[in-house]
Amino acid sequence: MSKRKTRYSYLFFSLDIILLALFGLLCNTGPTGVLFHEVAGLVYAALIVVHLIFNRKWIVAAAKGKLRGRRSVAMLAVNILLFADLIVILETGTHVSQYLFPEDVKAESIVLVVHAACSVVAAILIVANVLLHAKAITKGRMLPKVGLVVVLTVIISYAMFGGIQGALDHGMPKDGDVKGQNGQSIDDSDHRLKDGEKK
C-alpha cells in the first residue's frame, strides 16, 4: 500500500471514529447541554457530507447497479435507511431548536418524540453499518484488531445504551415545554391560576 493510500485510510478511519463518538455525545444531551447538541448536530451533518465524498466511488457504483452479493445489497439498504433517518433527525431538530433556529411557535411534543425515536433507529442502523464493514475495517495493520474491537465496542455501547436513554429523555416533553393559549407554559399558567384563586 502506498503512503498516499495509507494516509487516506487513516483519515477515513479517523472520520468514522469521530462520527461514532459524536453521535454518542449527540444522544446524551444531559452532560453537554442543548446548545452543544445543536452545534454538534450541524457539525455531524457536515462530516456526513465529507463521509459521502470519501465514499463517492461506492455511491456511483451503487447508482449504476454494479453492486453484487447479499452483503453489498444489505449495505446499500442500511445506508439508504440511515441517510433518510438522519435527514428526518436534522429536519425535526430545526423545529425543536432553542438556540440556532428558534421559532415563535414551538413545535408540538410529537416532533420531539419523532426526533428521539429516529435517533434510536439511527443508533441501530449505525451498529448494523459497522458490523457490515467489520471485515474491511479490521483488514490490514491500520490498528490491532483487538484494540479496534475494544474502541468500537465502547463507542457503540455508549451510543446504544446511554445514548438511547438520553435521546428518550430529551424527546419527552417536560414541564414548561408545552405552551398554553397565552403563549405561557402550562406550569406558569397553573401558578397564575392558583394566585388568582387565592385573591
For the segment 97-126, what is each residue's pLDDT rounded down to a tens digit?
A: 989 988 755 666 788 888 888 888 898 898
What's the pLDDT at 86?
A: 96
Please check the confidence at residue 192 and state whether its pLDDT lies above 50: no
Q: What beta strand segments (E) does the chain contain?
A: none
Residue type (1 letter), 26: L
Residue 164: pLDDT band by 50, 70, 90 thresholds? Answer: low
For the segment 3-22, what is each residue's pLDDT rounded down to a tens digit?
A: 666 666 778 888 988 898 88
The whole-angstrom separation of Cα 79 and Cα 58 is 11
Q: How far is CA 39 from the centre of its chain?
A: 13
41-49 mean pLDDT: 96
131-148 mean pLDDT: 64
Q: Which of 168, 199, 174, 172 is nearest to 187 (CA)?
A: 174
Rounded to the nearest 5°, which phi and psi values hold at 185? -70, 155
pTM, 2 dp: 0.74
